[in-house]
Amino acid sequence: MPMKIGQFSRESELSPHTIRYYEKIGLLQKADKDDSGHRIYDEADLDLINWVTCLKKSGMPLQKIKRYVEAYRHNNNSEVTEILGLHLVKLKAQQVDIEHYIDVTKKKLSQLKKSN
Amino acid sequence: MPMKIGQFSRESELSPHTIRYYEKIGLLQKADKDDSGHRIYDEADLDLINWVTCLKKSGMPLQKIKRYVEAYRHNNNSEVTEILGLHLVKLKAQQVDIEHYIDVTKKKLSQLKKSN
DNA sequence: TAACAACTTAGAGCATACTCTAAGTCAAGC
DNA sequence: GCTTGACTTAGAGTATGCTCTAAGTTGTTA
């Protein structure tokens, strides 16, 4: 179950560089180290990093994810809920925007077809 | 109808800095200058920059927008169509992703409510 | 004519998010 | 014992997209 950064990297699909970077900026807590000073991670770390990746892919900046992770670590449920609630609102707005951009792009494309 | 960078900036909602930057990286053609060396723009420039802004807001990187603008300038309809077609595919993929992220976020939120 | 705003340029600086480099340590296999 | 691969650190470099600074010119208005 416990793994070093190499396996953790493969399972999370983030490079070791990126994982250390996330630790450096405080997004991830300082990982425990084994006797040779190598970072060790477990399933809980993997669940967290995967959720972090999901938040990141959905457009949340690392600074905000950092605040989320901190609130999560401190069991501050109300802040976690607030951050996710706001995130949901933004995602819905993005959804509306994208629909609009799809429409506009389609129109532009059909105008182009006509002018041929 | 012709205007200097200040008014062009207000009408396009881009700063003069940004407009000059776009010109510098070749996204916009070198603007014509009046007798005092000030850039002059017209309605066609405004239409183009507004479409550029639309592409940018919908996630197209400046380098790709640059290629779009060049193809557009050279009346290369097939390339314009190709770029927009690909963009449409990406937007649709984004739409699917966002729907997924909305679902996941909603689930996370309802899990949090239960654990209260 | 003097102040003031708007414009010009080249180039530096900034924010975000990595990504890589250098120099070194450590454990396992031949 | 030595190579190999995975790991460590601090810090430099990269890409994108601005954003600002400095030093100067030009046009309008009181």
Percent of chain A with pLDDT over 70: 99
Q: Where along chain A do its domains lie? A: 5-114
Using left for φ > 0, alpha for ψ between -120 and 50, and beta otherwise, residue A60 falls in beta
- B77 contact residues in A (CB cutoff 8 A): 112, 115-116
Other Cβ atoms closer than 10 A to A105: 21
In whole angstroms, give the CA distance from residue B70 to residue B29: 9
**Section A40-49 average pLDDT:** 96
Q: Is the pLDDT of residue A94 over 80?
A: yes
Closest nt to residue A17, judged CA to C1': C19
Low-confidence ranges of chain B (pLDDT < 50): none
Query: What is the rounded average pLDDT for all residues in chain A?
Result: 95
- pLDDT value of residue B113: 86
The residue among B14, B57, B50, B70 whose CA lies nearest residue A102 is: B57
Tell me the CA distances in angstroms from B17 to A41, A86, B93, one per residue in order: 47, 32, 33
Query: Does at least one atom of strand C sit less than 7 Å from the CB of A111?
Result: no
What per-residue string of b and e applies to A53-64 under the rule 16 or more CB within 10 Å gives b?
Answer: ebbbebebebee
- pLDDT value of residue B116: 67
Nucleotides of C under 7 A from a protein CB: 6-9, 16-21, 26-27
Pick from A39-48, A60-69, A107-116: least confident: A107-116
Q: Is the pLDDT of residue A115 over 90?
A: no
- A113 contact residues in B (CB cutoff 8 A): 81
Give the CATH number of domain B5-114. 1.10.1660.10
Residue ranges of chain A whose CB lies within 8 Å of a chain B CB: 51, 54, 57-58, 77, 80-81, 84-85, 87-88, 91-92, 94-95, 97-99, 101-102, 104-106, 108-109, 112-113, 115-116
Percent of chain A with pLDDT over 90: 95
- pLDDT value of residue A116: 66
Task: Give me the torsion for CA of B87, B92, B96, B102, rounded to 10°.
Answer: 80
In whole angstroms, give the CA distance from residue B58 to residue B52: 10
